[in-house]
Structure 1
């Protein structure tokens, strides 16, 4: 069965070499950003006199990065968006807005609605978990640090979420569909690559099985929302809401930066995270179905 969202790649050119070239452009852009960013971290670490902040690129040690310095690194996602836009327009010869959906143009309302919903559901779940398992969490609230982090993440987290959704649920999923025109194949491949990209995260190393289940569940959920709505904004919003909760409410102690969240999870539990995402998935499915009760095939034909 064809899919209107995935068919957007047909508006441009899709020879395999074009995907390789675009991937090279993105990789090169990230490397060019990370070289001066690494120098910036080294300079800050050497001059701060902070014993908890360690950065040794040769040994591969990155620990205790102050949140503002970590936030600077999140600008790399803006670089990814710019490189992807160049690849889609100049290499694939199609509108960058085709990654959002058939009609193009970013729609703010579904993004904000999904972000608020995800943040609300996960924050309540995290709050209940803190009350039930107080030994696994430590209070971390510091007004000066928290409100600085709040301002940074409200600006940078949507950019991060947009970059990952445009890349995985947009460009990659549409591209895989051009090669193998089966929606489930596109969903599976994009979700596997999404999981693989998060393997280097420190929080994913403790329980690799549950971490894989977490990232694959997230990838499949965001892909399903994209195909169900026929657009990318709701997936972006869900992704942003998840990350906002991680940055502001409960952050795992295993992250490389110094969390500014309300609580720190000193005993991260990936099985619990999978349960939270399953709860969010159920809520998302119910919300999307309630928003439009027409059969999926009918919604596609209407587009």
Structure 2
């Protein structure tokens, strides 16, 4: 049984797959429409919130809703679908924590190295931002909450929706495309979009495709969970900027004009770094049969007939 077919171990009821994603994406869409209709200055709102509450409190309030959302998703899957969280996570008999940690530390070290290289090459683009006490609070908050935030996004898009759309479409390519695009669209209200323009959606959607590909090729969420957690956690700890969604007491503050290097920052990860990571993962985990795993069909299992619709 492959990863998408794990959905057959629960009570399908295709309508169920529209409830949680519909609520979440609906709220994201409403937020975006409010910004457009009311002509809200997201940067100014964030700066005002940070000034009134402090960066660490603002970060907590930004992340706690994701904790609630993940708990709600797990409840829905376990008690409405009757599906185990393990089967939502992987096609393996149990969750492979070694895969999660390998992906986490691989991307954490590589992304930190890229920041260090950029800092050495263009030190004028950064200001020291380190203060021990607020940084320690930041580290505690980020280590506890950021992986939960990223896990919700992975379980929703690469997990729940990937499986749900896969068993409905009976193929692999459609859930890959839909979840990748939806993942990108979810970020459309981020302040980075307002600063860099809609071209940054190439990065968000490209990241969605990368995470979707490693999920399908590896028959599980573990690599995507590790990568996404490392991406957001190390970003929160290492570098902040006035125009990003994460306003933190990080080690460095980026004071460069992002529009001057936006093409490089968007194109390099999607078209260079992500393919290199795919090669590394494929060699380590001996991935084969790429065509079938990314474009093949999903067979209907007999177990489905035993489930309550």
Structure 1 contact 161–239 (Cα < 8 Å) conserved: yes
Give 1:252 shift. Answer: 2.9
Distance 1:212 1:256, change over 3 A: closer
Cα RMSD of the aligned pairs, angstroms, is 2.8
1:69 matches 2:61: no
1:288 matches 2:281: yes
1:142 matches 2:131: yes
Q: How does 1:15-26 map onto structure 2 within 5 Å?
A: 15-23=13-21
Deviations 1:255-292 (A, max 9, x none): 35542112122223432332145444133212212213
Give 1:187 shift. Answer: 0.9
TM-score under structure 2 normalisation? 0.78
1:39 maps to: none
- Of 194-203 and 249-258, deviating more is 249-258
Aligned residue pair count? 271
Secondary structure of 2:195's match?
A: coil
Unaligned 5+ residue runs, structure 1? 32-55
Q: How does 1:124-163 map onto structure 2 within 5 Å?
A: 124-163=113-152
TM-score under structure 1 normalisation? 0.80
1:176 maps to: 165
Structure 2 contact 239–253 (Cα < 8 Å) conserved: yes
Unaligned 5+ residue runs, structure 2? 29-39, 294-309
**Higher relative helix content:** 2
Distance 1:276 1:298, change over 3 A: closer
Secondary structure of 2:90's match?
A: coil
Q: How does 1:94-105 map onto structure 2 within 5 Å?
A: 94-103=83-92, 105=94
Give the Cα separation in 1 of the matches to 2:95 and 2:285.
Answer: 20
Deviations 1:190-244 (A, max 9, x none): 0111111111111122223331111011111111111111111110000011112
